[in-house]
Chains A and B, each alone.
Chain A
Amino acid sequence: MVDKHLKYWLVAPALIIMAMTLLYPLVAGFWFSLHNWNIAQEATLGPFVGLDNYRLILTDDPDFWGSVRVTGIFTVFSVVITLVLAMALALALLLVGNDGLTVNVRTLLVLPFSMSPALLGISWRFLLNPEFGAISAGLGAIIPALKGVPILADPTLAMAALIASDVWHWSPYFMLLFVGALAALPQETIEAAQVDGASRFRVFWEIMLPQLRPVLTIAILLKAIFSLKVLDQVVTLTAGGPGTATETLAHLVYLTAFRFYDLGYSAAIAYLLAAVMGVLALLYTRFVMERA
């Protein structure tokens, strides 16, 4: 006979590791956020201040609100552009069909996703260099006004570059997701619409897209989570600059903790960000569970 407690013993190691790597930092982080703790001055936890850090952040911190705005802009544009581009690529792949060429093209298209976002930031930095960067040269050739302009020195252009690099990185992933979802659509509904007299655009817009809704919802939630926590490319591509033009929340958390050594305050910002992502993650899991 099988010991009925066996199942708990089997998952116990995983639970313990999860508790150590996830639960402990969550609890400890929240505890830190209730204290003043400058690690440049003191090695142990400083004085307890209650919710003061949160009050200060929400009522009297223009840096935080600036960063919220930056993160919001980045998230909206990167989510929308990534998903639209991914859908366009997926449709294109499906239209071309399944010959040998498509398989190779697909492999090429997936390459950007295989890159580490930190390295991606560094290589994009070179590509955007006004003197020898390929993207910079290409842009200059198409739009003469951008010729020789240091893109990363301009607040708007730097944000655009950050979004572009993120879109470049994530589009392949969502393209694959959409290719699978499109291929799984019942072919008869598409053919029925064609015979009923719908144009290609209408077939896509009125027949395919509504049937993709569950997948689209999941994609939007996932990409929003990824965008909200963007850090690597910010560090390596723009370092939040120029000024605070690309200072995303995750980068602000990182700066506050490891440049200004204000651990308590940084933990509080991180907690506010985590709260938003927690809601999205909850929606996401609920959606995935519903589909399962």
Chain B
Amino acid sequence: MASVTLKNVAKRFGHFTALEQLDLSIGDGEFLVLLGPSGCGKTTTMRMVAGLEYPSSGEIRIGDRLVNEVQPKERDVAMVFQNYGLYPHMSVEQNIAYPLKVRGIGKTDRAARVRAAADKVELGPLLARKPRELSGGQRQRVALARAIVRTPQVFLMDEPLSNLDAKLRVTMRAEIKHLQHELGVTTIYVTHDQIEAMTLADRVAVMNEGRIQQLGTPAEIYDTPANLFVAGFIGSPPMNLIPGAVSGGTFKATDVSVTHPDFGADGAGILGIRPEDIEVVDPQVAGIVGSVYAVELTGEANLVTVLTGTSRVIARASRAWDGKIGDKVGLRPDPARIHLFDQQTGLRIEPRRVPGAGNH
């Protein structure tokens, strides 16, 4: 087990810059999730740690060892691929045993360790099967077993759950979390699914356009997003973002007036409020007023979309809420949980400065 450090790492493919200047340090035994939309550079980052790509500049270290152009086989990492990367001509047992076989580990020792790894992911009865005779979830387990059959310095997981159906994804997510906790191996996990990121990670690196936008614990990322990108990317439904201006400690837009002691200097800004931080109230007592545009029952709550000025604002009301489309309503944000962003830079301004914010 080891820490992983990326210092000043850039990656270019011809004229295309996939990553510009990435700094990231992952602690020994940490579960780090790289989260971002497709094309943000998260997979490239992971492939460089695996040795499947070499950085154009900068330094990558596993432990204290500089591995920039070290071949994958010399790095002692294990990887789970998006499409599993199982060897189709080998049985489940041979698949799991392959990393041991190429390391010259004897047959008896090999069999015992394969058995142990297979049992850990409940594959015991399927050892003789070929990958094509397995379901998606079972293939996923084989890929996991192949990764945990030896104790590598680092686990790398590239969207391992994206090919599974929604129900299985939840089960496997818990299994991966449990396994990582049990084995204590440093893990880098790539995903575009924010729920996976929030549930699995010790820390999340939110990436976009070849840069880390914010690095922090799931709670930090959720509670104090460093910029508009992170604010809009994390959360479902996403954070409401209302453009307007601050004047004398009050944020104003059409039909919107929100006062907060931490709103500093006057100027244009974007107000951010998460749906669950908004209470639907009587229009007379609220800073935000509008009419109900749509009501969606999700089961545990009602999502109320309110048309206010030029914006639509979504609020999460209780299940018992019984308004109708067209009703005049007021919205009252929780003052402790409102966000303000700079309209030009998109960066978070007061309230609450964020530790570990993006390096702009």
In the complex, whether B52 has a CB less than 8 A from a CB of chain A is yes
Bound Cα distance from A198 to B87, whole angstroms: 13
Q: Which of A188, A197, A210 has the most CB atoms of chain B within a 10 A radius of its CB?
A: A197
In the complex, whether B247 has a CB less than 8 A from a CB of chain A is no
B72 touches A188 (CB 8 A): no
A192 touches B73 (CB 8 A): no
The contact string, 1 if C-beta is below 8 Å from chain A, for chain B 85-112, is 1111100000000110011000000000
Bound Cα distance from A249 to B211, whole angstroms: 69
In the complex, whether B62 has a CB less than 8 A from a CB of chain A is no
Across the interface, A191 reaches (CB within 8 A) one of B78, B81, B103, B146, namely: B81
Bound Cα distance from A195 to B79, whole angstroms: 7
Bound Cα distance from A195 to B103, whole angstroms: 12
Across the interface, A194 reaches (CB within 8 A) one of B71, B84, B146, namely: B71
B102 touches A198 (CB 8 A): yes
Bound Cα distance from A182 to B119, whole angstroms: 35
**Chain A proximity of B141: nearest CB distance (Å):** 15
A192 touches B103 (CB 8 A): no
In the complex, whether A53 has a CB less than 8 A from a CB of chain B is no
In the complex, whether B8 has a CB less than 8 A from a CB of chain A is no
A188 touches B103 (CB 8 A): no
B86 touches A189 (CB 8 A): yes
**Chain B proximity of A239: nearest CB distance (Å):** 46
Across the interface, A195 reaches (CB within 8 A) one of B77, B83, B87, B89, namely: B77
In the complex, whether B55 has a CB less than 8 A from a CB of chain A is no
In the complex, whether B50 has a CB less than 8 A from a CB of chain A is yes
Which residues of chain B come closer than 8 Å to A188, judged between CB atoms?
81-85
B146 touches A210 (CB 8 A): no
Bound Cα distance from A170 to B50, whole angstroms: 40
In the complex, whether A193 has a CB less than 8 A from a CB of chain B is yes
Count A-B contacts at CB 8 Å: 66
Which residues of chain A come closer than 8 Å to B225, judged between CB atoms?
none
Interface size counted on chain A using CB atoms at 8 A: 18
Which residues of chain B come closer than 8 Å to A213, judged between CB atoms?
89
Bound Cα distance from A202 to B102, whole angstroms: 8
Mark out the residues of chain A between 210 and 269 whose CB falls within 8 Å of any chain B CB in the assembled complex.
Answer: 210-211, 213
In the complex, whether B218 has a CB less than 8 A from a CB of chain A is no
Which residues of chain A come closer than 8 Å to B88, judged between CB atoms?
186, 189, 211
Contacts A196-B99, A196-B146; A189 near B72 (Cβ below 8 A): no
In the complex, whether A207 has a CB less than 8 A from a CB of chain B is yes
The contact string, 1 if C-beta is below 8 Å from chain B, for chain A 175-200, is 00000000000101101111111110
B102 touches A195 (CB 8 A): no
**Chain B proximity of A203: nearest CB distance (Å):** 9
B50 touches A197 (CB 8 A): no
A191 touches B83 (CB 8 A): no
**Chain A proximity of B323: nearest CB distance (Å):** 51
In the complex, whether B51 has a CB less than 8 A from a CB of chain A is yes
Which residues of chain B come closer than 8 Å to A189, judged between CB atoms?
85-88
Which residues of chain A come closer than 8 Å to B84, judged between CB atoms?
188
**Chain B proximity of A133: nearest CB distance (Å):** 45
Contacts A186-B83, A210-B89, A211-B88; A193 near B98 (Cβ below 8 A): yes
Across the interface, A198 reaches (CB within 8 A) one of B73, B75, B82, B85, namely: B73
B87 touches A191 (CB 8 A): no
Which residues of chain A come closer than 8 Å to B89, judged between CB atoms?
210-211, 213
Which residues of chain A come closer than 8 Å to B72, judged between CB atoms?
191, 194-195, 197
Query: In chain A, what residue has the closest Cβ to B50?
Result: A195
Query: In chain A, what residue has the closest Cβ to B131?
Result: A189
B85 touches A191 (CB 8 A): yes
Across the interface, A192 reaches (CB within 8 A) one of B71, B75, B79, namely: B79
Bound Cα distance from A188 to B71, whole angstroms: 16
Query: In chain B, what residue has the closest Cβ to A199?
Result: B73
Bound Cα distance from A5 to B15, whole angstroms: 60
Which residues of chain A come closer than 8 Å to B87, judged between CB atoms?
189, 192-193, 207, 210
Which residues of chain B come closer than 8 Å to A198, judged between CB atoms?
73, 98, 102
Contacts A186-B83, A186-B85; A196 near B52 (Cβ below 8 A): no
B85 touches A197 (CB 8 A): no
Bound Cα distance from A186 to B86, whole angstroms: 10
Bound Cα distance from A207 to B99, whole angstroms: 12
List the 3 closest A-B pairs by CB distance, nearest first: A192-B85, A188-B85, A196-B99
17 sampled A-B residue pairs with Cβ under 8 A = A186-B83, A188-B81, A189-B85, A189-B86, A189-B87, A189-B88, A192-B87, A194-B51, A194-B52, A195-B52, A195-B77, A197-B102, A197-B103, A198-B73, A210-B87, A210-B89, A213-B89
Binding site for B on A (CB under 8 A): 186, 188-189, 191-199, 202, 206-207, 210-211, 213
Given contacts A197-B102, A211-B89, list 19 more A-B pairs with CB under 8 A: A186-B83, A188-B82, A189-B87, A192-B81, A194-B51, A194-B71, A195-B51, A195-B75, A195-B78, A195-B156, A196-B73, A196-B98, A196-B102, A197-B73, A199-B102, A202-B102, A206-B98, A210-B87, A211-B88
